[in-house]
Chains A and B, each alone.
Chain A
Amino acid sequence: EAGVAQSPRYKIIEKRQSVAFWCNPISGHATLYWYQQILGQGPKLLIQFQNNGVVDDSQLPKDRFSAERLKGVDSTLKIQPAKLEDSAVYLCASRLMGDVSEAFFGQGTRLTVV
């Protein structure tokens, strides 16, 4: 079974530029999460999708971050404009809908804003 795919693995941008990350969840997983992991901290949820609908985006900085999940499969997370404090690893995870068991994580995208 293929895992959660994320791209790119690494990205370096200047502040005020824009950037986008892509995630392809495990086939059949209706629930998709985007987490932000700042160095030395635990992952923090940015947004949760159920199919193509948003379940929780309470911690998403909506003035600069946006995410979409068209057709309920792939998802894109965008930052525009980026700030220095956005430097982090962005993790995508997926889970079967209604499943209280394991969430599967991708390898993440490491973003450095300079």
Chain B
Amino acid sequence: AQSVTQLDSQVPVFEEAPVELRCNYSSSVSVYLFWYVQYPNQGLQLLLKYLSGSTLVKGINGFEAEFNKSQTSFHLRKPSVHISDTAEYFCAVSEGAQKLVFGQGTRLTINP
């Protein structure tokens, strides 16, 4: 069965600084990987996804992630964060069109 580990529960950064949110997964088969963002009192919104092809995936709001099969990782990055990026970020894995399994989440806090 697949599982997801988000290595940091909270990440504080200063505005305009770069950020990396770490995600590792385990699965016995090929997987599809996702990053979702959750703003307060909102549902989950897709940031980006890796299905196949290029291992560097670009998403919305300037975020990107790199799929590393050998390290079973899918870390999320942004070169310069903004106050509006303050939110909870969830990494998720899916085997085929089945259920999404989520990590515990990383709370990103941007300080001015």
Residues of A within 8 A of B (CB): 4, 31, 33, 35, 40-45, 48, 55-56, 91, 93, 95, 97-103, 105-108, 110
Question: Is B94 interfacial (CB-CB < 8 Å)?
Answer: yes
> Chain A's nearest CB lies how many Å from the CB of B4?
8
Q: Mark B1-35, 1 if CB is under 8 A from A, else 0.
A: 00010100000000000000000000000001010
Can you list 24 A-B pairs, Cβ within 8 angstroms, ordered by A? A31-B97, A35-B102, A42-B90, A42-B103, A43-B90, A45-B99, A45-B101, A48-B98, A56-B99, A93-B44, A99-B97, A100-B32, A100-B51, A100-B94, A100-B96, A101-B32, A101-B49, A101-B51, A102-B34, A102-B46, A102-B49, A106-B43, A108-B42, A108-B43
Say whether B57 faces chain A, with CB atoms less than 8 Å apart. no
Least Cβ distance of A47 to chain B in Å?
A: 10
- A41–B104 CB distance below 8 A: yes
Most buried by B among A41, A43, A44, A91: A43
Given the complex, which residues of B lie within 8 Å of A35, measured CB to CB?
A: 102
Flag if B98 contacts A56 (CB, 8 Å). Answer: yes
Query: Which B residues between 30 and 71 are near A, CB-CB below 8 angstroms?
Result: 32, 34, 36, 41-46, 49, 51
- Please state if B97 and A98 are interface contacts (CB–CB under 8 Å): yes
Which residue of A is nearest B95, CB measured?
A100
Compute how far the CA of A98 lies from the CA of B32 in the bound complex, rounded to whole angstroms.
Answer: 13
Instruction: Give the interface centre of A42, A43, A100, A108 by most chain B CB atoms within 10 Å.
Output: A42
User: Closest approach, in angstroms, between the C-beta of A44 and any C-beta of chain B?
Assistant: 8
Q: Are A41 and B97 also in contact (CB < 8 A) when A101-B49, A102-B46, A105-B45 are?
A: no
